[in-house]
Amino acid sequence: MRDGSRQRLQSRTDMSRIEEAQSASVKRAQVEFHNFASLGDPERALAVYAEENVRRSALLNAHRAFLGSMTPFLEIGANVGHTSYLLVNEYRADGFALDLSVDALRHGVALMDRWGLARAPVRVAGDALQLPFRDGSLRLVMTYQTLSQFLDIEQVVVEAKRVLAPGGVFLLAEEPLLRMLSLRLYRAPYRELMKPWERKLYDWGMLGYLVKDVIGAAQEEGFGIRQNHSMYLRDWRKLLEKHFARAAYQVFVPERGWGERWVKRLAVRLDPHGSLWRAAHLLGGTLAAVCQKAGERDPDSFPPVARFECYLRCPDCRGPLTRDHQDVLRCACGYEAANEGGVYNLLPSRERAELYPGDREDIADFSLPGHEARLESGFFELEGVFGARYRWMGAQATVRLRRVRTGPLRLRVRGHAHERSFQQGERVHVRARANGVDLPVLYLERPGIFVYEADLPDGDAYRIEIHSAPTWIAPPDDRRLSVIIGMVRLIPRD
C-alpha cells in the first residue's frame, strides 16, 4: 500500500473512532450550549466561576508538590477559561485554555474586566480528541468536568498523555462517579428547576437514590449533549493506572440531608482503611486525580509560551504551524487560523465549517449579525448579552431557510421557556410546520433551555413556522409572549 493511501485509510479510521467517542451532533450541541450559557447571565455565571476557582485552587495547593512547575500548561474544556486565568494570575504559570466553543473563550475578556486581571492564557478552540499540540510539548494538562462528556473517555486520556512531556502531569477533577445505590428511574434537573416534591427529596438526601446519571444531567441531555456517567471509582483507577506511572486520588462524596449522611458515615466506618472509597462506590460523588507520565522531567526543554506557535501543530495535517506579522497561524498544507477576538480556532477544517458556519442561508443564529434577513414575522426585538442573544416570540413566528448541503435534513430550534409559561394552566408546548407540513409537538415539563428537533421533508427552501403555547402578558409590557428563541437552523440527520 502506498504511503498516501495508507495515510488516507488511517485518517478515515481515526475519524471513525473520534465520531464514536463524540458525535458531530453532540459537538454542535456543546458549542451552542456554551455560546448561549457561558455568560448569558453574567452575574450568576461569574459567581459560579469564582466559586469553582476557590475549590480548584484548594485542589492545586493540596497537590502542589506532585504538580511541580505548571508552565507550560493546557486546560482542556476550559469554558470561559476561568481556571486558566487563575493559573496565569495567581500561580504565575503560562499556558493554554482550550475549549470547543470560540464564543465561551472569547468571553474571557469579561473576567479580566470584572476581576481586574492583568494576564491571560493563550486561548485556542480545539477538539480534545485531536489536540492541536505537538507530541510531548506540555508539562501539565488539566481538565474539570469534561471527560464525562465523551463516550470513550480513554481516547481523551490518550491524547492528554500524547501531548505531555516525559514526567508531565495530568490532572482531572470534578468527574462523576457512578453510584451503586440508585434505581436510575429518570434524569433530574438542577435544584432551582426541580418540582416541589423533588426539592424536598433532594434536601432529605433521598433523590439520588432514584435518579440516573447525576443530579442536573437533565439540562445537558435535553440539549443534545450526551454524557458518560458509567464509571465506578474502580473503573477510573484502572484506566488511569493503565496509562500513567503513578497517581494520587481524591474523592468527594455527597452528604445531602440524613438520607446520604447516615449511609456515608456507615460506609466510612466499615471501610478497612477508614477512607471514602466504599462510600464513593455506594453514593457516587466526584473524583480528582493527579497522574504522572512515565519518564524523567527535563526542566529546560520548553520554549517561552510567548512563542506559543512552537507548541502547536496543524489540526489537518499535523505539521508545524508558523505565526506571521498579522498574528495568523499558518501551515504549509494551506490551513490558517487568525486571531479572532483573542482566540485562535484550531479545529480541523471539516469541524470548523460545521460548528462555525457563520452567516449562512441554512441558519438564523440570533447572536450573529445578518440573521434578521431570514426572519419573516412573529419575533420581537433582539435582546440578551454576549453570546446569549435571543428574541421573544408570540404564538407564532416564521423563518425562511435554504438548503446548503445534500442529504436528508432536520430542523433544530434552540430556545428557553420562562417560568411564567408554566403558570397559565395549560401544558407548555412547541411545534413547527415546514412548507405546510406539520412536524411533531414537543411538550416541555420545566422552565429553562430546550431544543426542538424534527426531520424535515425534502426541499431546497423551507418556510418554518414555529408555534408555541400558552401565551401570557407581563404588565406593564403589553406584548403577548410565549418562549424565547436563540437559533433556528437546518442540520444533517445523523
Q: How many helices (H) and strands (E) does the chain have?
A: 14, 20
Backbone angles phi, psi at 52, to 5 degrees: -65, -40
455, containing H or E segment: strand 448-455
Q: What is the pTM assigned to this prediction?
A: 0.90
| CA distance readout (Å), 141 to 128, 133, 199, 239, 259 | 11, 11, 37, 17, 37
pLDDT in tens, the chain (494 residues): 455 444 444 454 555 567 678 888 889 888 888 877 787 778 889 999 999 999 999 999 999 999 999 999 999 999 999 999 999 999 999 999 999 999 899 998 889 999 999 999 999 999 999 999 999 999 999 999 999 999 999 999 999 999 999 999 999 999 999 999 999 999 999 898 899 999 999 999 999 999 988 888 887 888 888 889 999 999 999 999 999 999 999 999 999 999 999 999 999 999 999 999 999 999 999 999 999 999 998 888 899 999 999 999 999 999 999 999 999 999 999 999 999 999 999 999 999 998 998 889 999 999 889 999 999 999 999 998 877 889 999 999 999 999 999 999 999 999 999 999 999 999 999 999 999 999 999 999 999 889 999 999 999 999 999 999 999 999 999 999 999 999 999 999 87
Contact between 26 and 152 (Cβ < 8 Å): no
Burial 337-350 (b: 16+ CB within 10 A, else e): beeeeebbbbbbee
Bridging pattern class, strands 375-385 and 363-365: unpaired
Query: At CB < 8 A and 24+ separation, what contacts does 344-349 make?
Result: 344/122, 344/123, 344/124, 344/125, 345/102, 345/125, 346/124, 346/125, 346/126, 346/132, 346/312, 346/315, 347/100, 347/125, 347/126, 347/127, 347/315, 348/127, 348/130, 348/315, 348/316, 349/315, 349/316
**Residue 35, amino acid:** N
Check residue 163 and report its DSSP letter: H
Residue 268, phi-psi category: left (phi > 0), alpha (psi -120 to 50), beta (remainder): alpha
Give every CB contact of residue 244 below 8 A, 6+ residues apart in sequence. Answer: 161, 170, 291, 292, 293, 294
Whether the CB-CB separation of 183 and 312 falls below 8 Å is answered with no
- Set out the domains of the chain in order of their start, with CATH numbers: 3-292 (3.40.50.150), 363-492 (2.60.120.200)
